[in-house]
Structure 1
Amino acid sequence: MTRISAILFDKDGTLFDFQRSWAGWALDLLTELAQGNPARRAALASALGFDLCAARFRPDSPVVAGTTDDVVRRLLPHLPEWRAEALARHLTEASVAAPMVPAVALGPLLEGLAARGLVLGVATNDAEAPALAQLEAAGVRGAFDFIAGFDSGHGAKPGPGQVLAFAAATGRSPDEVLMVGDSRFDLAAGLAAGAATAGVLTGTARAEDLSDLAGVVLPDVGALPDYLDGIAAGRG
């Protein structure tokens, strides 16, 4: 394996625990959009792949790996009073305030990775503005040399654009990059760019859902230092 000199993280489900960060937010959003209509609330939840009884996203939810535009397309048939642009703007603005829950203690982890000489980035299918706000609120925005959303001009995952842009922006070859994510979109993007890949289980996917695209599947991003040590020792 080429030496890893850069790590590109997905955001939701990777840096932040997906269900703990977004399930409560989704319940509030569905209640707001339904305007007191239980049938509409159920239809909207179904469109988002959200289990109202369990208050959890299903693994096949478009919210897990899709863009804001993907979510808007799913919701619009049930919201005839909304226009696509207005709904996209509303979702983006609402997501800025989502109470993100870090998957692990991110500050010490990112400081330790940077101390190894690694450059770090974030590539998300969320919009760039809420990504920046959420990373700032978590106190880790400054740890990253590159942050891109689906609307940052590099395309969205599973396309390779964000990974290639990260490599170019940090002066790395794509094969020096480790793409870390919780979804098949994340890993497919990494592979398409020629990067190494690592899956994590803090989203909705199981290990078996990711293993064919991942060089390794880890419980969470906190396991990265040991994994990198293993590579350095020839065990990776």
Structure 2
Amino acid sequence: MPRTGSGISRSGAGTTVVLDRDGTLLDFYEMFHRFVLDLHEQQSATPPPREEILGFAYWSAITSGKLRIGSVRVLDRVDEVARRYMPHGKLYPGVVEMLTALSGAGVRLALVSSWVGTEPTVSLLERYEVRDCFGPVLTRDDLVARGEGASDADTKVELARRALDEVGHEPGHRLYVIGDTSSDIALGRRLGAVVVGVRTGNGGTMAAQGTPDGPDVLLSSAAELDTLVLGSQ
């Protein structure tokens, strides 16, 4: 099996994996919940139940700009989740072991997020002692100024291509892209990668494996990625 510690074979040489952050590696629900509760407290408002806050409809109301808490349009403050609340985030179970196994096998790893929060993300990875498993860790914070208004999809493509350049990925190398949303699937298709979906985060609504809108492979969580990648070498 892949998880063999310091004696692992470097069978992953020639392979690159681009990983999404939120909902794929990072369980951000507690971060987001605390942000919403704090915003209600600041506005002297009563928050809805936790299950409503963590529902897809609530998030959609934020991203559409429709949700207001008191005098605050939540979309104007939502970047605080990644920039201020990352200490409350946690990696999903098994992710640390997966990252260690892939890195130990010589697989090149890059983390790419279309949201903000590069420095807090690096701090989170350092807390879990897996920062050294990655090459580039890039978020929207790392876009050049001209790209500040770019869509999530375009942001992710630009950052992913930059990450591939930085790790020395070449056309003949095997490439995987893993994430929990349709934008991750679109990224993988644009890069010509093996597209891996996960059921964590927003992945519960992901189209079925092998369908036109779905991933090539669908996993229960990113913790299974090392078995997939190293088992296919």
Compute the TM-score of the two structures, normalised by the length of structure 1.
Answer: 0.72
* Structure 2 contact 18–160 (Cα < 8 Å) conserved: yes
- 1:68-102 CA-to-partner distances (Å, cap 9, x unmatched) read xx9587278556468987x46755542233x1122
Mean Cα displacement is larger for which, 212-221 or 103-112? 103-112
Residue 108 (structure 1) aligns with: 97
Residue 24 (structure 1) aligns with: 33
* Structure 2 contact 199–206 (Cα < 8 Å) conserved: no
Which of 9, 17, 23 is the equivalent residue of 1:13? 23
1:97-136 map, 5 Å: 97=87, 99-127=88-116, 128-136=118-126
Change (3 A) 1:171 1:200: same
* Structure 2 contact 17–109 (Cα < 8 Å) conserved: yes
Q: Secondary structure at the match of 1:172?
A: coil
Displacement of 1:29 in angstroms is 3.2
Which of 123, 146, 158 is the equivalent residue of 2:153? 158
% identity of equivalent residues: 19
Letter in 2 for 1:74: G
* Structure 1 contact 59–205 (Cα < 8 Å) conserved: no
Compute the TM-score of the two structures, normalised by the length of structure 2.
Answer: 0.73
Displacement of 1:56 in angstroms is 5.0
Residue 37 (structure 1) aligns with: 45
Q: Secondary structure at the match of 1:151?
A: helix
* Structure 1 contact 10–123 (Cα < 8 Å) conserved: yes
* Structure 1 contact 149–156 (Cα < 8 Å) conserved: no
1:43-122 map, 5 Å: 52-54=49-51, 56-59=53-56, 62=59, 74=65, 78=69, 80=71, 87=77, 90-97=80-87, 99-122=88-111
* Structure 1 contact 4–178 (Cα < 8 Å) conserved: no
Q: How many residues are aligned here?
A: 209
- 1:206-225 CA-to-partner distances (Å, cap 9, x unmatched) read 26436333110001111112
Q: Secondary structure at the match of 1:217?
A: strand
